[in-house]
Amino acid sequence: MTQTRTATTFAPPVMEARRWLEGVEFPPERPLINVSQAAPVDPPPEALRKAIAEFTVTEDAAHLYGPVLGNPALRAALAREISEHYDGQVGAEQVAITSGCNQAFAASIAAITGEGDEVILPTPWYFNHKMWLDMAGVTAVPLATGDGLLPDPDAARALITDKTRAIALVTPNNPGGAEYPADLVRAFYDLAAETGLRLLVDETYRDFDSRDGAPHGLMGLPEWDETLVHLYSFSKAYRLTGHRVGALASSPALLAEIEKFLDTVAICPGQIGQYAALWGMQNLRQWLAGERHEILDRRAAITENLPRLEERGWRLLGLGAYFAYFEHPFDIPSDELAPRLVKESGILLLPGTMFMPEGDPAGLKQLRIAFANLDRAGIGKLFDRLANLPF
């Protein structure tokens, strides 16, 4: 019997983890601490919600089809913002809007690869990237990372075959939090350009990078769009997760291929979400700077609490954006430890096995904590529980 496309991959990890909550009661003195998902739990700021409401009522376009690659005003505004943020040269014709960043990745892979092709993914990988490659009939080739969860371009070169079509990076990284240095991103770009590959760089969390200035200079290179596919999301910046607004930037020729995929899957991005993203870029720059400051302060709180876990054998492997990625000290596989933490300590987090190739022993010792929705007090309580686990 032929195996279906969806049967080639695993169940959605966040949904799988939520099932661990079934039948578990959390006493008032020890409520659940949910650090499983990297998404804002608060709605957009009130000013943006009011703008969305007005747009919904007064604009007929809010309820109609629009251009497949996104509305011209949003594409142009994002092109200007990318050019400013990266000290580069990006035009509206090089930008497309998608129904979330996951769709941007899926559309790019559909336009770049064929059946049986290969894409190199550093591990630990973002599980939705792996899931889409599985369902697309594309082999995900794991690239083990080293210190700081940083991938090595020379190690990637050794993995390239005649079936390799792309290398996909995520920075700041999901799940590991690592912020890839500019020279490392450039080294991967040079490798991709030399070997005729596409370099996909998913920068969903770029608004919460701890570094000031451009995180890399790829958009300033001549003909950058012939190699780079830049992926972005408005979900984290403006708390628009439910509206599903993502984006990508690359060559107009590649976007013409991507348009075929998008037209078939969704026809066009949602109008309300696109309007919200545009309004956010035009009006919420200072608000977003405050959001970034708060996330960086929560990251600092992780660092300040870290000695309490280190003295018990924990090791921090990566920290940045929304994530802290740990190696735990217990003689318990992480995929067994994580469900136990729900029942015994009221903590919901994800095991490293969800971000690693099946059978990779490293994942058995790793845990991801998505800390962005915890304030300083919440982070302190999380570390209290982790430092006093009964194992």
β-pairing, 95-98 vs 33-34, is unpaired
The amino acid present at 49, given as its one-letter code, is R
User: Are 89 and 186 within one domain?
Assistant: yes
Q: What span, in angstroms and rounded, lies between the C-alpha atoms of 163 and 21? A: 42
Residue 36 lies in domain: 6-43+287-387
User: Are 188 and 129 within one domain?
Assistant: yes
Q: 51 in a domain, yes or no?
A: no
Query: Using alpha carbons only, what angle is made at residue 349 by residues 346 and 352, rounded to the nearest 5 degrees?
Result: 140
pTM of the model: 0.95
The count of domains in the chain is 2
Q: 49 in a domain, yes or no?
A: no
Domain stops at, among 284, 305, 331: 284
**Can you say whether the dihedral through the CA atoms of 116, 232, 174, 266 is positive or negative?**
negative
User: Are 256 and 166 within one domain?
Assistant: yes
User: Are 317 and 272 within one domain?
Assistant: no
Q: 105 in a domain, yes or no?
A: yes
User: Are 304 and 327 within one domain?
Assistant: yes
Please give the chain's pLDDT, 391 residues, in tens: 788 999 999 999 889 999 999 989 999 999 999 999 888 888 999 999 999 999 999 999 999 999 999 999 999 999 999 999 999 999 999 999 999 999 999 999 999 999 999 999 999 999 999 999 999 999 999 999 999 999 999 999 999 999 999 999 999 999 999 999 999 999 999 999 999 999 999 999 999 999 999 999 999 999 999 999 999 999 999 999 999 999 999 999 999 999 999 999 999 999 999 999 999 999 999 999 999 999 999 999 999 999 999 999 999 999 999 999 999 999 999 999 999 999 999 999 999 999 999 999 999 999 999 999 999 999 999 999 999 998 8
**Residue 334, CB half-sphere, CA atoms under 13 Å: how many?**
26
Residue 326 sits at φ, ψ, to 5 deg, of -115, 155
User: Are 99 and 21 within one domain?
Assistant: no
The two tokens of residue 14 are 């966040």
User: Are 136 and 229 within one domain?
Assistant: yes
Q: What span, in angstroms and rounded, lies between the C-alpha atoms of 183 and 178? A: 14
- Is the distance from CB of 107 to CB of 258 less than 8 angstroms? yes
Beta bridge partners, 370, equal 323
Beta bridge partners, 275, equal none
Task: Identify the CATH number of the domain in which residue 185 sits.
Answer: 3.40.640.10
User: Are 222 and 362 within one domain?
Assistant: no
User: Are 167 and 314 within one domain?
Assistant: no
Q: What span, in angstroms and rounded, lies between the C-alpha atoms of 135 and 122? A: 19
